Amino acid sequence: MMSAEDNRLVTEIGPNTGCGDLMRRYWQPAALTEELGGERPVVRVRLLGEDLVLFRNDDGTYGLIGRNCPHRGADLCFGRLEDGGLRCPFHGWLFDTNGQCREQPAEPPSSNFSRKINHTAYPCIERNGIVFAYMGPGNPPPLPAFDCFEAPDAFTFAFKGFVDCNWLQLNEVGIDPAHASFLHRFFDDEPEEEGYGQQFRFSTEENEMAITKVLREYDCPEIDIEQTETGIRIYALRQMNDEEMHVRITNQIFPNAIIIPISNEIMLTQWHVPIDDTTSWWYAIFSCFT
């Protein structure tokens, strides 16, 4: 049984917490690209316990800056996108994507005070439907070379869902190999072509049986774990007969991503992203090889 102290250590993710500092050293999903699809691409973001605002400039660059204006605390979600940045609706301070204040209209023309105002800002990168943010120290690392980032945009599909639990509880569901036999089972096996959208309707390359049927009929997998350079790999082994074994692989990429091949053609990459200490976003990208 985990102690309350250890539990806090792995679930408290605000600034200057152990787990929060760790999470900040990795690119984290901040929003779906489609959330910025309207005429005014400005959205509020709560990520790792911080309140932020994400915007996209005319030139396509993204800014993720503190939500409250450093002047009088106005909500920059109501800011105006203009002149190469986000302008506070209260007194018109203009912030660029680096959080640098560029203009303070009410200051005398001779003032250079704006140069001293550098608001909280985090680098962003958009890839295949998700805008990622780096909230850690120093220069951001490159994005990991996951299939979902290498695949052309047209071969990927990104989505997110709100989950009312902390990131670790959500991650535990992601890597839990036994639940698939019950939660993801179908009682009728339709032909692959007719089951569009149904998870696990495909069969594997070397066996005709749809994966949903494999999961349904072999509901007591043997579980093996191997340590890897980037986390752990979990094998759920379902012995189907003397000759065949179904192997479901879950790659946990520390700290909070997992990658699961769910058929011959489809790879599922997921991130379990802390909104704060007790709620999370589940982000995912499906990548299809055909």
User: Residue 28: what are its φ and ψ, rounded to 5°?
Assistant: -120, 140
**Residue placing its CB nearer to ligand FES in the complex, 71 or 80:** 71
Least distance in angstroms from the C-beta of 288 to ligand FES: 45
**3-state secondary structure (DSSP) of residue 8:** helix
Distance CA 211, CA 185 (A): 9
Site for ligand FES in 31-70 (CB under 6 A): 69
Cβ contact 88:95 at 8 Å: yes
Asked if 288 touches ligand FES (CB under 6 A), the answer is: no
Least distance in angstroms from the C-beta of 106 to ligand FES: 8
**Residue placing its CB nearer to ligand FES in the complex, 79 or 274:** 79
Least distance in angstroms from the C-beta of 115 to ligand FES: 16
Residue listed under structure tokens 């023309």? 109
Say which residues have a Cβ less than 8 Å from residue 233's Cβ, sequence separation at least 6. 225, 226, 227, 249, 250, 251, 252
Site for ligand FES in 63-92 (CB under 6 A): 69, 71-72, 74, 88, 90-92
For β-strands 62-66 and 50-56, DSSP reports them as antiparallel
Site for ligand FES in 91-110 (CB under 6 A): 91-93
Least distance in angstroms from the C-beta of 75 to ligand FES: 9
CA–CA distances in Å: residue 131 to residues 5, 117, 122, 214: 33, 26, 12, 36
**Residue placing its CB nearer to ligand FES in the complex, 40 or 72:** 72
Cβ contact 158:285 at 8 Å: yes
Least distance in angstroms from the C-beta of 74 to ligand FES: 4
Least distance in angstroms from the C-beta of 67 to ligand FES: 11
User: Residue 8: what are its φ and ψ, rounded to 5°?
Assistant: -65, -40
Rg of the chain (C-alpha set): 23
**Residue placing its CB nearer to ligand FES in the complex, 80 or 184:** 80
End-to-end Cα, the chain, rounded Å: 45
Residue type, 245: M
Distance CA 163, CA 48 (A): 14
**Residue placing its CB nearer to ligand FES in the complex, 91 or 233:** 91
Contact code string over 150-189 relative to ligand FES, x by CB under 6 A: ----------------------------------------
Least distance in angstroms from the C-beta of 59 to ligand FES: 23
**Residue placing its CB nearer to ligand FES in the complex, 13 or 69:** 69
Residues that bind ligand FES (CB under 6 A): 69, 71-72, 74, 88, 90-93
